[in-house]
């Protein structure tokens, strides 16, 4: 069975056919998934979904692109939600230097505040990183994020950075890009990082794997990610599915 550790089924792109998407995922062997909320509307929708489906869990936090919009009340609300039994992580949080909506200093402060909250409530964190690797690693070290650990979501960096993150108590999560023919780094990471520190995800509706690249992604496609990792590592699909599922359950505290 497969565990999609990062899905956005709370996205409006699934408003018309959510049930069919879920059925396809289950047909492909997806047994659990984490729905990620990163602002008020997506967090609210994530909570609605995890209340409705027993195999869904929630990750709640504030996206760095929208850091400038986060208020003290928002952070307090996120803290309150962490008492819900199906909230298993805080995020996605981090830094995004591709878009310039939120100034870097604001992003860093919101990132630090969420790490501190995670340590307070003892939940792992899910890291969004776009063109900001050095600053993210520095902040994780300064805030002693290894105390809670977490996930480097949709990791796109080098094997060297991946190993540095593993040493800080983080799992490396690979998604659709590992299946792209021209994606050198994710394939190197898949080869070099031990299976016990790897997770799989879709980040749906984004980053659909080959042969669906450019189309809407969905949780069922996480099977293609697992198959690619198995091929790279010279393992069976079943070995990768079993290990990544157990890794996710261990991190999220799911029995």
* pLDDT tens string 147-201: 999 999 999 999 999 999 999 999 999 999 999 999 999 999 999 999 999 999 9
Q: For 133-195, give the DSSP string.
A: HHHHHHHHHHTTGGGT-EEETT--S-HHHHHHHHTTTEEEEE-GGGGSTT-HHHHHHHHHS-G
Task: Say if strands 170-174 and 125-130 run parallel, antiparallel, or are unpaired.
Answer: unpaired
- Greatest distance between any 2 Cα atoms in the chain: 49
pTM above 0.95, yes or no: yes
| Per-residue pLDDT tens over the stretch 95-151 | 999 998 999 999 999 999 999 999 999 999 999 999 999 999 999 999 999 999 999
Would you say the C-alpha torsion 52, 2, 64, 18 has a positive or negative sign?
negative
DSSP state of 202: -
């Amino acid at each position: 069975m497969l565990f999609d550790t990062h899905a956005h089924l709370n996205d409006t792109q699934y408003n018309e056919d959510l049930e069919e998407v879920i059925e396809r995922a289950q047909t492909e062997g997806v047994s659990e998934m984490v729905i990620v909320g990163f602002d008020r509307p997506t967090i609210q929708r994530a909570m609605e979904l995890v209340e409705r489906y027993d195999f869904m869990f929630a990750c709640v936090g504030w996206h760095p692109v929208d850091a400038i919009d986060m208020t003290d009340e928002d952070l307090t609300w996120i803290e309150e939600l962490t008492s819900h039994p199906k909230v298993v992580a805080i995020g996605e949080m981090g830094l995004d230097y591709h878009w310039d909506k939120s100034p870097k200093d604001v992003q860093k402060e919101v990132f630090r505040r969420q790490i501190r909250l995670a340590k307070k409530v003892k939940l792992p964190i899910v890291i969004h990183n776009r063109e900001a690797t050095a600053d993210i690693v520095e902040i994780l070290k300064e805030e002693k994020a290894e105390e809670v650990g977490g996930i480097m979501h949709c990791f796109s960096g080098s094997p060297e950075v991946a190993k540095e993150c593993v040493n800080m108590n983080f799992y490396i999560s690979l998604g659709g890009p590992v299946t792209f023919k021209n994606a050198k780094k994710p394939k190197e990471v898949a080869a070099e990082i031990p299976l016990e520190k790897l997770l799989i995800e879709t980040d749906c509706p984004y980053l659909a794997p080959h042969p669906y690249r450019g189309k809407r992604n969905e949780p069922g496609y996480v099977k293609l990610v697992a198959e690619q990792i198995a091929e790279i590592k010279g393992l069976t699909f079943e070995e990768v599915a079993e290990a990544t599922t157990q890794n996710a359950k261990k991190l999220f505290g799911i029995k």
